[in-house]
Structure 1
């Protein structure tokens, strides 16, 4: 006489189905972030693309209701952006600014990180805080602070130059503007990049350094042959951030524009977009320019990432 399996127990020979509860819980946790991302990133980008394809058509004298209508303009705004020589010059100025800022800032950040990682360093905590502290200063405050230091009438540097009967440079005209803005960016951004590189250095096992010292390697050789190659991915990451920040330079020229006549309203790409949107009230052309700049930044970052990936990828062999 065979026994019938209980209704509550598993049936022999049949796979047991495990009921998984809470599979949708991670998506519920992600929902607030996704909603905020959609509301403050996806929707504004989509709206910018939408209005970049339109223009305002004025009928008659432009007075009365219905005299100004938003009509479809297609790609005409993008064509105007690509043919705008002022925008092209602003992009070239941004690249020239980046050629000064990026090597200087990342070079100093790497040197400071290597110095802080030496075992003989004293007052390391104070040194890290002192180097990182300028990054904690808001960009607009840093720009205004340096702007007053650049003014000949109130700057203590010009007072010293006059006392020593030395020439006084004009920091608000011509090619000197590149150094003027670059100094503010390097002063404020070196600390952040130093922390990124220093964190990567602290993750390196100390046994590697001990083995190198047993083999007779000095601190300089350890830095050049061990530390720098290992933290190369962190250098690449900071390089990408710096390139994007270079194309988006805005705070320095905008903050110093009221105290100098040598800074044009289209000195940088973002300044040109701001002037088109709020200076000439051309929101449609400004949106098209912003979309072009965003697409160029994305393509440039993607290309640099593909190129750097060939040098930072580990050889599987």
Structure 2
């Protein structure tokens, strides 16, 4: 009888200890199948290449061989990839500060005491984020086209010049406008949620000390939502590095956007238009490592500043 009880207790203890692993198993399987394996396959492809024998015709004329770091060397010395990275830096220099600045401003306005139609305004600002990027790019693209845009038609009726928003310098502003229009609402919700979590006693104490609403916003609200600002900045940087759908959708409407305008467009061009999956995989791995390094540096820097600000 005693042995049976011990066995039952042992099984029960084992079941309790194994329960967390059972709950984690589905997530681990999904992570392995849809994340780890594709990354591993991309790394494997990046270390190989196709060797063509003769005219490349017939069985055995094209053979997959080991390439080592040859694809990575070609990717790092590719001028097109460098130019696309510079374009993305210019694009991000416009998108990130404007989008986060508007998101913070809208969040502070919605968090004010005397504000009307708070729910409607919050939904109206967030709604563009729910629109797919391709649909948003098509909508704004037709608004940019001189022949069909109502804005260009109004300028023409007024005798004013019609700017070409899909070429040259204005192209960066046009693409940035799409990103700002679609991403401001999400970042606003993150910051606004953080503002709503601040205890009301903090505001009451500031009012008793004679602080104005502007002083409360600058000296209390913004410093207390600094972690949310860091988080939205982090997400915005990653989204900027991964821009693809907007320039790809607008490319048929203008000659100002090349097939390698952004780094991800360069990967797509090499893989599906150039037929070189091996070089494209190497470029994708380089971009992933660069994104990881930049994200890690930003998190370390923001973490260090937060600790310094928290020390008395």
Q: TM-score range by the shorter chain?
A: over 0.9
- For residues 94-148 of structure 1, the C-alpha deviation after alignment (integer angstroms, 9 at most, x for no partner) is 0110000000000000000000001111110000000000000011000000001
Match of 1:134 in 2: 128
After TM superposition, the structure 1 = structure 2 runs for residues 5-20 of structure 1, keeping only pairs within 5 Å, are 20=13
Of 134, 147, 150, 1:153 maps to 147
Q: Give per-residue Cα distances to partners, 1:157-183, cap 9 Å, x unaligned.
A: 101111111111111111221101000
Alignment-derived partner of residue 189 in structure 1: 183
Q: Return the offset for 1:315.
A: 2.9
Higher Rg = 1
Which one of 75, 80, 87 corresponds to residue 81 of structure 1? 75
Q: Compute the displacement of 1:278 (Å).
A: 0.8
Could you tell which deviates more after superposition, 24-33 or 290-299?
24-33
Equivalent residue, structure 2, for 1:171: 165
**Corresponding residue number in structure 2 for 1:38:** 32
TM-score (norm 2): 0.95
Query: For the residues of structure 1 that align with 2:214 and 2:226, how far apart are their CA atoms?
Result: 17
Pair 1:206 & 2:212 matched: no
Whole-angstrom distance in 1 between the partners of 2:16 and 2:201: 44
CA–CA separation in structure 2 for the residues paired with 1:132 and 1:234: 17
State the Cα RMSD in Å: 1.7
What SS does structure 2 have at the residue aligned with 1:77?
helix
Any runs of at least 4 consecutive aligned residues in structure 1 with deviations exceeding 4 A, and if so which? 16-19
The residue number in structure 2 matching 1:276 is: 270
Distance in 2, matches of 1:283 and 1:271, equals: 14
CA distance in 1, matches of 2:114, 2:11: 58
* TM alignment of 1:41-80, pairs within 5 A: 41-80=35-74
Task: Extract unaligned runs of 5+ from structure 2.
Answer: none
In 2, the alpha carbon distance for the partners of 1:56 and 1:84 equals: 19
- Choose from 258, 269, 274 the match for 1:264: 258
State the TM-score, normalizing by the size of structure 1: 0.93
1:17 Cα deviation from its structure 2 partner: 9.3
Relative distance call for 1:41 and 1:297 in structure 2 (3 A) is: same
The alpha carbon displacement at 1:22 in A equals 2.0
SS of 1:22's partner is: helix
The number of residue pairs the alignment matches comes to 306
Give distance in 1, aligned partners of 2:256 and 2:272.
Answer: 20
Tell me the distance in 1 between the aligned counterparts of 2:10 and 2:17: 15
**Residue 45 of structure 1, CA deviation:** 0.4
- Alpha-carbon shift at residue 7 of structure 1 (Å): 5.8
